[in-house]
């Protein structure tokens, strides 16, 4: 018995890897579609967009890379879908060079469902600009000067959607899909606190706790945290995507991690007790 | 003068951004707009400097056939290949060569690196969450509650689990987080003032 417990305490990590692999792969192959409710930060993000009058312009900054794509891409797609299906005008930018092609892909997925939406009229991609916080602040003085042309090189003054868009005063809301730095924290510090623009954020699960203070202070109108946040948001916009499909896998893998923590502690305390008894 | 001039530039640039933040008048902002444009240009030039640095360091390593030099060849070739296809072969877009390389090389590589985290985090959790002390127990219990409460299976076990997890996030977690943020902000202000006034000069190298 003691030997088994000692083996469990120092379990080979490859065994853990196998269990984690199976706990992710099997639910993806055999989904049961577990039910879940929507948490308040996600609901308030959704409600903030719903409250905007049709025709309002929304700036979406897609600042992430393929590493955080499983969590952030579904919420990016869902956000584009909600914005465009509500007849809001979408202006996208990227402060991460790796975000440009992901934004393009997210938008093309949405346009399959909303084929009547026209580039330059309903949405525009101003592309990537290096400069991080300086770009954010610069947009507060002049968006056309910070982004003089769109991703394809068309002058901003020749793009209908950009008519009347000069500063943050001319956008109804700012949405940030944040994979790290620069991201939501910088948008709050540099833009929201200075220009008081309505800001909503979608971020990775690991960085969500960092942004809860901003939700409570009202600096963020809503927060989509990780794949669960994305799945809840997909549920609200009624467009099931990869986040909802990933919920079963995430549930099972979390249970597996919990069981390993439990096994580790049982083995630890049992062997500790046995060692004490042997000493006595 | 080799030290005084950079310190003076740092002081002027730093204080201009502070002034801009605290005087958000339109006319003041338009004055600082030029400085911001300079900053964007300087940051863009940092890329050139970065590429030069990558080439310099890796070229030496390749020349001397240091450890892992074949990887460095791939790195240098990759840098120039992406610049070339981006600038001369159709720019950036899903249908371009740049897009193809992005989706067939960078995308799977980055996704793989991040996916590996799931395995290492599980392994680390198994070893790290041993309840050796009261504090460790508190950490382990909270971690498990949040972990289970934030996935659908938690809600299936107990209907109020997501609400309970939100309470943990909104009250104890937030209190701790806010304290850390305020502490870090005070530290950042102090460091920034030391840099701007020239008391902290490590960024100049040497000292």
pLDDT tens for each residue of B175-192: 999 999 999 999 999 999
Please answer yes or no on whether A264 and B127 come within 8 Å at the CB atom. Answer: yes
Cβ of A250 and B36 within 8 Å?
no
Q: Are A56 and A89 in contact (CB under 8 A)?
A: yes
For residue B121, give the 3-state DSSP assignment: helix
Q: Choose the closest CB to A251 out of B127, B140, B151.
A: B151
Residues of A with Cβ-Cβ distance to B39 under 8 angstroms? 131, 134
Contact residues for A279 (Cβ-Cβ < 8 A; gap 6+)? none
Q: Give the C-alpha separation, B4 to A68, whole Å.
A: 43
Residue A21 contacts B where some CB pair is shorter than 8 Å: yes
More confident site: B32 or A116: A116
Distance CA B73, CA A220 (A): 45
> Other C-beta atoms within 10 Å of A53: how many?
9
CATH code (residue A56):
3.40.50
Flag whether residue B156 sits within 8 Å of chain A, measured between CB atoms: yes
- A173-178 β-sheet, strand order: A123-128, A89-94, A57-63, A173-178, A199-203, A222-225
A17: closest CA of chain B, how far (Å): 6
pTM score: 0.91
Question: Tokens for A91?
Answer: 């202006």
Do A11 and A150 lie in one domain? The reply is: no
Look up residue B69 and give its two tokens: 């030099």
CA pair distance A262, A2, nearest whole angstrom = 17
DSSP state of A120: T
Taking contacts as CB-CB distances below 8 angstroms, the residues of chain B near A129 are 40
Q: How many domains does chain A have?
A: 2
Is B129–A66 a contact, with Cβ atoms under 8 angstroms apart?
no
A97 and A67, same structural domain? yes
More confident call, A22 vs A272: A22
Is the same domain home to A96 and A207? yes
A224: phi then psi, degrees, rounded to nearest 5: -105, 110
ipTM more than 0.90? no
Write the DSSP symbol of residue A149: B
Distance from C-alpha of B16 to C-alpha of B24, rounded to nearest angstrom: 12
Q: Helix, strand, or coil here: A86? A: coil
pLDDT digits (tens, 9 = 90+) for B49-107: 999 999 999 999 999 999 999 999 999 999 999 989 988 887 778 888 999 999 999 99
| Among the listed residues A255, A277, A234, the one whose alpha carbon sits nearest the alpha carbon of residue A110 | A234
- Contact of B161 with chain A, judged by CB distance below 8 Å, is answered with no
Percent of chain B with pLDDT over 90: 62
Nearest CA to A57 out of A3, A142, A149, A124 is that of A124
Give B206's pLDDT tier (boundaries 50, 70, 90): low
A100 and A174 housed in the same domain: yes
CA B25 to chain CA mean position, Å? 31
Q: Which of A128, A125, A134, A126 is nearest to A96 (CA)?
A: A128
Choose among B24, B18, B19: nearest CA to A167. Answer: B24
Q: How many CA atoms lie within 13 A of A124 on its CB side?
A: 27
Give mean pLDDT, residues B22-40. 81
Question: In this structure, what token pair is assigned to residue A76?
Answer: 């990016």
Task: Count CA atoms within 13 Å of residue B86 on its CB side.
Answer: 13
Of the pLDDT bands very low, low, confident and very high (cuts 50, 70, 90), residue A275 is: confident
Residue B195: Cβ-neighbour burial (10 angstroms; 0-12, 13-18, 19+): middle
Structure-token match 């299936």, residue found: B156
Residues A119 and A258 in one domain: no
- How is A194-258 classified by DSSP, letter by letter? HH---EEEEE-TTTHHHHHHHHHTTSSSEEEEHHHHHHHHHHHHT---HHHHHHHHHHHHHHHHH
Please say whether the beta carbons of A137 and B24 come within 8 A: no
More confident residue, A90 or A271: A90
Which residue range(s) make up the domain with A213?
Answer: 40-245
A253 shares a domain with A240 = no
Token pair 């620069």 in the structure block, residue: A182
Do A222 and A274 sit in the same domain of this protein? no
Shared-domain flag, residues A96 and A227: yes
A105 and A231 assigned to the same domain: yes
């Amino acid at each position: 018995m003691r030997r088994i417990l000692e083996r469990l305490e120092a379990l080979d990590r490859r065994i853990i890897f196998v269990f984690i692999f199976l706990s992710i792969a099997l639910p993806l192959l055999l989904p049961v579609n577990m039910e879940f409710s929507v948490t308040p930060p996600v609901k308030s993000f959704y409600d903030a967009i719903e409250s905007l009058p049709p025709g309002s312009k929304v700036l979406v900054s897609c600042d992430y890379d393929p590493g955080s794509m499983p969590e952030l891409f579904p919420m990016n797609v869902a956000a584009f879908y909600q914005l465009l299906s509500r007849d809001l005008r979408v202006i996208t930018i990227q402060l991460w060079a790796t975000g440009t092609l992901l934004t393009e892909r997210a938008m093309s997925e949405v346009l399959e469902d909303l084929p009547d939406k026209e580039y330059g009229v309903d949405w525009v991609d101003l592309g990537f600009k290096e400069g991080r916080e300086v770009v954010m602040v610069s947009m507060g003085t002049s968006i056309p000067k910070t982004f003089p042309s769109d991703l394809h090189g068309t002058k901003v003054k020749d793009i209908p959607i950009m008519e009347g868009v000069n500063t943050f005063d001319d956008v109804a809301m700012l949405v940030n899909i944040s994979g790290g730095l620069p991201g939501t924290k910088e948008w709050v510090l540099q833009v929201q606190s200075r220009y008081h623009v309505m800001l909503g954020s979608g971020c990775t699960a690991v960085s969500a706790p960092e942004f809860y203070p901003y939700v409570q202070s009202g600096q963020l109108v809503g927060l989509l945290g990780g794949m669960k946040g994305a799945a809840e948001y997909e549920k609200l916009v009624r467009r099931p995507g990869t986040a909802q499909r990933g919920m079963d896998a995430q549930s099972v893998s979390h249970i597996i991690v919990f069981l390993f923590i439990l096994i580790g502690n049982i083995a630890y305390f049992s062997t500790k007790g046995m060692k004490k008894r042997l000493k006595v | 003068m080799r030290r005084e001039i950079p310190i003076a530039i740092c002081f002027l640039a730093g204080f201009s951004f502070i002034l801009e933040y605290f005087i958000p008048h339109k006319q003041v902002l338009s004055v600082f707009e030029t400085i911001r444009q300079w900053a964007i240009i300087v940051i863009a030039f940092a890329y050139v400097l970065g590429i030069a640095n990558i080439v310099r360091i890796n070229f030496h390593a390749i020349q001397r056939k240091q450890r892992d030099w074949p990887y460095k060849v791939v790195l240098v070739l990759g840098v120039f290949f992406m610049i070339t296809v981006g600038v001369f072969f159709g720019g950036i877009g899903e249908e371009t060569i740049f897009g193809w390389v992005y989706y067939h090389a960078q995308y799977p590589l980055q996704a793989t690196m991040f996916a590996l985290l799931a395995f290492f985090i599980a392994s680390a959790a198994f070893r790290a969450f041993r309840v050796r002390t009261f504090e460790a127990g508190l950490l382990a219990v909270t971690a498990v509650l949040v972990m289970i409460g934030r996935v659908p299976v938690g809600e299936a076990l107990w209907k109020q689990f997501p609400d309970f997890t939100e309470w943990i996030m909104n009250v104890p977690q937030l209190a701790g987080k806010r304290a850390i943020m305020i502490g870090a902000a005070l530290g950042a202000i102090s460091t920034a003032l030391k840099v701007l006034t020239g008391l902290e000069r490590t960024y100049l190298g040497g000292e």
